[in-house]
Amino acid sequence: MSAPLILGLESSCDDSAAALLRGREVLASVVKGQADLHAGFGGVVPEIAARAHAERLDLCVEEALAEAGVTLRNVDAIAVTSGPGLIGGVLSGVMLAKGLATGLGVPLVGVNHLAGHALTPRLTDDLAYPYLMLLVSGGHCQFLIVRGADDFTRLGGTIDDAPGEAFDKTARLLGLPQPGGPSVETTAREGDDKRFRFPRPLLDRPGCDLSFSGLKTALLRQRDQLIAEQGGLRRQDVADLCAGFQAAVRDVLALKARRAIAAYLEEAPAEPALAVAGGVAANQTLRDALQTVCSETGLRFTAPPLSLCTDNAAMIAYAGGALLASGVTHDMTLSARPRWPL
């Protein structure tokens, strides 16, 4: 018997997405971003996001069905992000999922968005449990030991901003385009990462917690000082500031990764591995640093392809399928949870 065909829905932040998955085969994955809608506001506007999800999720489902060459009648189960995230968007997804599950008479599974990210590496890699996960995106930053589809241990995480958010703010402060991560990374290639001093926050605090808001303050101070001294920023100044900021993020994440690895290795995992996911996992400087840490500590380093690293519904369908296989389903009382730590 072939694996069930699972329709996944994602709408917890600013991407509306639908995907169709059978086993580990992604038959279709449609993502409709909303960057254009929020561009003028300096961040995601919850009301605008909710309305856009309500309008676009249906379209995502239609496109995914057409791409996979199947109809709704072929779908065996519906998996939906039921939190954490912006409540209006999560509600749009949960309501659509309930309607579809009822109409089709198939099981409904609510999925934690973070679990979706954390399980994604297993979609493309034969990764054995338990593995260590660094989830690093615009909204999240945490180290997890992943023991199973519904079994996670959080070792630590950011106490303020997420790194992607810090990249985006840095870009905004330096007049670079959004999303900030790619533009800061590109600009940093021309820069000297030692010219400006950036703090390495929380290094003296034991454990795996991180902080990134101080980096933004440091950047603002250095930028304003340059403007006061020179009357403006030169191209090289911007490159040097980007390089210094990026090096600080890299160093903090690499050092805390070493601590997380030490805690993880205490459990003597059979096939020790570190997986990274989330939009910031696209950063090559960070990847190189994590790769080095893994080589030195005997871990395999793995990262899903970028299209699965950023927000998508294939990860929700995959996590939903894993939950379904372990007997988890939800009924019509499934609620949208704005907060839902793993």
**Nearest-angstrom CA–CA distance, 137 and 141:** 6
Q: Which range binds ligand KG4 by CB under 6 A, 97-105, 131-139, 228-236, 261-269?
A: 131-139
Q: Which phi and psi (to 5°) does residue 273 adopt?
A: -150, 145
User: In the complex, what is the shortest distance from the CB of residue 310 to ligand KG4, in angstroms, rounded to a whole number?
Assistant: 3
CA 300 to chain CA mean position, Å: 20
Q: By CB under 6 A, is residue 116 in contact with ligand KG4?
A: no
User: In the complex, what is the shortest distance from the CB of residue 270 to ligand KG4, in angstroms, rounded to a whole number?
Assistant: 29
Edge-to-edge order in the sheet of strand 141-148: 151-157, 141-148, 131-136, 273-277, 300-302
Extract the annotated binding site for Fe cation. Answer: 113, 117, 311
Spell out the residues 6+ positions from residue 108 whose beta carbon is closer than 8 angstroms to its own.
77, 78, 80, 97, 98, 101, 329, 330, 331, 332, 334
Q: Which range binds Zn ion by CB under 5 A, 90-98, 241-249, 253-261, 311-319?
A: 311-319
Q: By CB under 6 A, is residue 179 in contact with ligand KG4?
A: yes
Edge-to-edge order in the sheet of strand 15-22: 25-33, 15-22, 5-10, 77-83, 108-112
Pick 84 or 130: Cβ nearer ligand KG4: 84
Q: Which range binds Zn ion by CB under 5 A, 48-56, 222-230, 306-314, 322-330?
A: 306-314
**Residues 23 and 120: beta-carbon distance below 8 Å:** no
Give the β-pairing of 108-112 and 77-83.
parallel
Which run of H or of E encompasses 142? Answer: strand 141-148
Among 29, 81, 82, 310, binds ligand KG4 (CB under 6 A): 310
Among 256, 311, 316, 318, binds Zn ion (CB under 5 A): 311
Q: By CB under 6 A, is residue 311 in contact with ligand KG4?
A: yes
Pick 130 or 201: Cβ nearer ligand KG4: 201
Site of interaction with Zn ion (CB under 5 A): 311
Binding site for ligand KG4 (CB under 6 A): 13, 137-139, 164-165, 167-168, 179-182, 185, 278-280, 282-283, 310-311
